[in-house]
Amino acid sequence: MTNVFIAVGGSGTKVAEALVKLLAVGFPTRNDNGYLTSAGDKLIIMRVDPDQSAGAQEDLTECLNAYQELQADFSDGNKNVLASSRWSMDIDTRVRDLDPTELPNADENQMKTLSGILDSGRAQEKSLALLAPFYEQKDLNVLVDRGFYQKPFIGAAIMSVFARSLEDDSTPAGKKAGLTAFSNTPTNFFLCGSLHGGTGACGVPVMAQFLNRRKNANPGWGWRIGGCLLAPFVKPPMPPFSPLREGDTIDEEMINQLIEVHGTSPVFQAMSTPEEKRELVRQILLGFYADPDDMEARARQGLTFYKDHSSDYFDELYLVGKPSPNQLKIWSNGGKSQRNPLNSADTVAAIAALNFFAQAGTGNPNSYVIGSSNYEVPQENMRLAHVPSYKIGNAVEIEAEKVILATVLTCHLIRHGILWNKIHESAKESLICAYYDKRMGQAAIDKGFYDHSIGKMAEFINGLIAPHQEHFPTGWSSDDLYQIAKFFGDENSAGTQEIKSNLEKKILRNEARGINVLGRSETKFTDRDFGAWCPPGDQFTRGEYFRHVWTQVFAKCQTSLGN
Amino acid sequence: MLQDILRFFIDDIEPDDWEKTAMNWLITAIVVAVLCAGLTFAYKGVRKATAARIEQKIWSRGQTWLSFFIGLFPVFFALLIVWYLTRDFLNYIQVGGLLKGTLFAWFLYLFVMIFGHLVSPWRRELI
């Protein structure tokens, strides 16, 4: 199945990053003859954002590079553009960056402002004259190359022009999106953006409407459209200085003075040219920034809009947020300086995407489902056990904590459970050793790739659930990561020895001595059981073996009855 | 032929029935070698069966040869005890016969151990 994740704005891009990380650490999307896996499916990431130098985009690119390395380790060792292996989903590592302000006829569209775009040849009939009365002059003239500053009424007009340009494969966006390639191909489109922001709030409904029209015009193509809206889950701080009062005007001296006073703040230091700094001062003075006090009201308005106009575009629509948002410490107005850590809400939104890709079919078209729990989920100390579960094919329940436990234990087993220095001697006790025993030299090569991939896996998990800190608000508790660390220990570390001891067999009984635990999930089996796990057939890849062991471990994971 | 072989294991051939004594000594060496080999196999089997971890179950080539080497001592001590407690062995087999018998028992013991490993699933721990 082809899956297309359309990240709209910075929030959507962070969710794309979380999704890639979830896939990297083993979250499955389908049941392939008993194997729970995502391998065999394909993911294409599109990013709709006028801010082409966003920090979130750099984070996503780094994450995709790491995914490419991981997939190379699990396949032929080569880093390919289509990161593919039998471990997890194939991902096209070229993010299709769609800039809504990049329209055809560039000569007419050099001004990246609302007025510039409405007056370009692309906007039908040069619509500025018609639409200008709905906007103030400052709205028409503000540069929108860093997003829409949480003002969806600016972005909506630009997005509409942009969506129209997608219909034509010869336009810059149409060429990059390449939607013609999805004609006649069953595809899951998943749109994600913020409900209260600028780019996300206007981009998600416009893009959904565009896709929905095409879907309805071609019912035989098998398209599905899903979406996730991010309600406020982080709260930005106030800008370094206050905006102008109504009626006040900006003068150059005021701008110079403000740059002098606030020039040392991180947001100004991240800018290279004086003109960028002047533009930022103007934006703040005119109120073009995310006002934390308005977020809730904007989210409420956004929801009302979806209820009245947009929810029908989606086969499934998810809403993720936090009752009390985590407080961000560093203020930014887009661009490279806006580098927020991955939040637990981003991960939950990515789980929603997996639920959609797995065709779980939550609820029915005429109802909605409200996620609930019988305990309070801590906003700044979430644990993996708090992450909503999803289903594969409406049958197998996938819980984040069990997936991670299976992954980290598989990493331990492959590093320490295979007797890499006694392959020949242990060929009778372990099927994978018997496999290597027949292939001279292969074990040493594979061990190198496994060691590298396990290092990458640890990085992915660390990035996914990094503990919450005051200046790094992720919303995650440090408890899970603390427990996970022992699974990645060296041979002689206490953690490794403890896990090995848990995998030991009781004397004269084929029962494990202990249980390996992560949060409320636990698993019990012996290293002899591990020795019997090997994919059938004489030829399999590293990714296939890793997934095979993972599937066996996952099947043995259960929720602890004691807690 | 048999007499020549038996002669090799005995120092004093003055008594009329020296062949019987030599034969008894040879049988003793064979029994001790086979018994010790069996005990070494049993020890290894028990260690493997009760190993808590799979890595404890796997014996390296070095460990295997070490176990063979350690098994040589019981062979020697068992023969020494039997030799010392049996008057005929002490009087007629004497020290030369003891050393030759021990050497023979060691070879036999090693042969049984190596052959036993080669025909068993433990061959991977030897070759």
CATH number, domain with residue A233: 3.40.50.1440
- Residue B105: predicted pLDDT: 97
Q: Which of A398, A425, A452 is the last residue of a domain?
A: A398
| B54/A430 touch (CB, cutoff 8 Å), yes or no | yes
Residues of B within 8 A of A531 (CB-CB) are 54
Nearest Cα to Cα of residue A123 among A157, A72, A167:
A157
Confidence of residue A258 (pLDDT cuts 50, 70, 90): confident
CA-nearest residue to A530 within chain B is: B54
Where in the sequence is the domain holding A122, given as residue range(s)? 112-143
| A531/B121 touch (CB, cutoff 8 Å), yes or no | no
Confidence of residue A518 (pLDDT cuts 50, 70, 90): very high
What residues in chain B have their Cβ under 8 A from chain A's Cβ atoms? Answer: 49-55, 57-61, 121, 124-125
Integer Cα distance of B119 and B115 in angstroms = 6
Tell me the mean pLDDT in the region A149-164: 78
Q: Tell me what the pLDDT averaged over chain A comes to.
A: 86
A409 with A268, same domain: the answer is: no
Residues of B within 8 A of A503 (CB-CB) are 53
Does pLDDT of A262 surpass 70? yes
Is residue A244 situated within a structural domain? no
What percent of chain A has pLDDT above 70? 93
Does pLDDT of A325 surpass 90? no
CA-nearest residue to A508 within chain B is: B50
Residues of B within 8 A of A500 (CB-CB) are 53
- Residue A170: predicted pLDDT: 81
- Residue A486: predicted pLDDT: 95
Contact A418, A449 (CB under 8 A): no
Of A429, A506, A508, the CB nearest to B54: A429
Tell me which DSSP letter residue A547 carries: H
Confidence of residue A333 (pLDDT cuts 50, 70, 90): low
Does pLDDT of A562 surpass 60? no
| B58/A528 touch (CB, cutoff 8 Å), yes or no | no
**Residue B43 to chain A, least CA–CA distance (Å):** 16
Residue A101 or A15, more confident: A15
Domain positions in chain B: 33-45+55-127
Q: Which of A228, A257, A285 is the last residue of a domain?
A: A285
Number of domains observed in the structure of chain A: 4
**A502 in contact with chain B, both atoms CB, cutoff 8 A:** no
A225 with A94, same domain: the answer is: yes
Grouping H, G, I as helix, E, B as strand and the rest as coil, residue A247 is coil
Confidence of residue A383 (pLDDT cuts 50, 70, 90): very high
**H or E element in which residue A188 lies:** strand A187-194
A394 with A418, same domain: the answer is: no
What's at B2, amino acid-wise?
A: L
**A529 in contact with chain B, both atoms CB, cutoff 8 A:** no
Confidence of residue A563 (pLDDT cuts 50, 70, 90): very low
Is residue A107 situated within a structural domain? no
- Residue A309: predicted pLDDT: 86
A467 with A493, same domain: the answer is: yes
Does pLDDT of A52 surpass 80? no
A272 with A133, same domain: the answer is: no
A123 with A175, same domain: the answer is: no
Sequence-ordered list of residues with C-beta below 8 angstroms from that of B99, at least 6 positions apart, any chain: none
Q: Please give the structure tokens belonging to residue A514.
A: 């202990």
Q: Please give the structure tokens belonging to residue A6.
A: 């359309």
A218 with A320, same domain: the answer is: yes
Residue B30 or A276, more confident: B30
Residue reference for tokens 């009365």: A133
Residue A35 or A191, more confident: A191
Residues of A within 8 A of B52 (CB-CB) are 504-507, 513
A153 with A253, same domain: the answer is: no
Tell me the mean pLDDT in the region A237-254: 75
Tell me the torsion sign for CA atoms A520, A526, A529, A535.
positive
Q: Which residues pair with A8 in a beta bridge?
A: A48
**Which residues of A29-116 form beta strands (DSSP E)?**
30-32, 35-37, 42-48, 82-83, 90-98
Residues of B within 8 A of A428 (CB-CB) are 121, 124
Of A425, A430, A504, the CB nearest to B59: A425
**Which residues of A394-544 form beta strands (DSSP E)?**
396-398, 516-518, 521-523
A451 with A526, same domain: the answer is: yes
- Residue B57: predicted pLDDT: 87
Integer Cα distance of A357 and A29 in angstroms = 6
Quick: pLDDT tens for A159-173.
888 888 888 888 877
Nearest Cα to Cα of residue A117 among A125, A50, A108:
A108
Q: Which positions of chain B have pLDDT values less than 70?
A: none
Quick: pLDDT tens for A488-499.
999 999 999 999
Span of A136-150, A249-263, A469-483 with lowest mean pLDDT: A136-150
| B55/A507 touch (CB, cutoff 8 Å), yes or no | no
| B54/A422 touch (CB, cutoff 8 Å), yes or no | no
Of A500, A507, A527, the CB nearest to B50: A507
A258 with A404, same domain: the answer is: no
Quick: pLDDT tens for A211-243.
999 999 999 999 999 999 999 887 877 777 777
Is residue A551 situated within a structural domain? yes
Residues of B within 8 A of A506 (CB-CB) are 52
A434 with A388, same domain: the answer is: no
Does pLDDT of A123 surpass 60? no
CA-nearest residue to A512 within chain B is: B52
A75 with A181, same domain: the answer is: yes
Q: Please give the structure tokens belonging to residue A519.
A: 């949060």
Determine the distance from the C-alpha atom of residue B25 to the mean position of all C-alpha atoms in its chain, rounded to a whole number. 13
Is residue A547 situated within a structural domain? yes
Is residue A497 situated within a structural domain? yes
Residues of A within 8 A of B45 (CB-CB) are none
Residue A412 or A424, more confident: A412
